[in-house]
Structure 1
Amino acid sequence: MATDSRQDMLNRLKTIKGHIGGIERMIEEGKECQEVLLQIAAVKASLEKVGYSLLEEHAVQCLVKDNDGKVDAGEVAELINTILKFAK
C-alpha cells in the first residue's frame, strides 16, 4: 500500500475514533436519539469510505501484475468474494 494512501486511511480512522467518542458523550449526556443517529450515520459513511479505499488498493495489488500482465482467476474470485463480504 502506498504511504500516502496508508496515511490518509489512518487519518480517517483517527477522525472516526474521535466521532465515536463524541457519540459516547452524547449518549451519556442524554442527547436526542435523532442527533445520535445522525452521528452514527456519519461514522458509518466514513468507515465505508475507508473500506472502499482499502478495497481499491487491494484490487490494484491483486490484479495488476508486473510480470506477464495476466490475471489469475483464483485471485479474481478471492477479490470478488472480499468485495461481496464488505458490501453486505
Structure 2
Amino acid sequence: MEESHAHTHSYEPMKADLVRRLRRIEGQVRGLQKMVEDGRYCVDILVQIAAVKSALHQVGLSILESHTRGCVAEALRERDREEEKVDELIQVLRQFTKL
C-alpha cells in the first residue's frame, strides 16, 4: 500500500508538530529502555508503555484525519479513483485499529 505522491501530503501543514511529537515519543521509548535496564518496578514501566502507545495513537489519528480530509475528500470531489481511495482508507483503518 506504499504510495509515493509528487504532490504535497495532506499532513504537510502540521508536519513540524508531528515531527516534534514523534521526537518526544522517541525520547519516551528511550526512557522505557532505561527503566528496564535500571530494573524499575513493572507497574511503572507498564504505565509508561501505555503513555507511549497513547501518544503514538494520537499521532496516527492526526495523520489519518488529515488523509481523510485531504486525499480521500479530494478524490471524492474530483471523482478521481474514489473507489480506490475508499478501499485504501478502509484497509488502513483495519490496520490502524488492529491490536
Note if contact 2:11-2:63 (Cα within 8 Å) is conserved in structure 1.
no
Percent identity, please: 36
1:79 alignment partner in structure 2: 89
Distance 2:72 2:11 in 1: 16
Unpaired segments ≥5 residues, structure 2: 1-9
Of 10, 14, 18, the residue aligned with 2:23 is 14
TM-score (norm. length: structure 1): 0.86
Q: Which amino acid in the other structure matches residue 93 of structure 2?
A: I
Distance 1:81 1:34 in 2: 34
RMSD over aligned Cα atoms: 2.0
Correspondence 1:55-66 to 2 at 5 A: 55-65=64-74
Unpaired segments ≥5 residues, structure 1: none
Instruction: Tell me by how many angstroms 1:12 deviates.
Output: 0.7
Correspondence 1:8-47 to 2 at 5 A: 8-47=17-56
Distance 2:46 2:85 in 1: 38
Count of aligned pairs: 88
1:50 alignment partner in structure 2: 59
Note if contact 2:29-2:52 (Cα within 8 Å) is conserved in structure 1.
yes
Instruction: Tell me by how many angstroms 1:58 deviates.
Output: 1.1
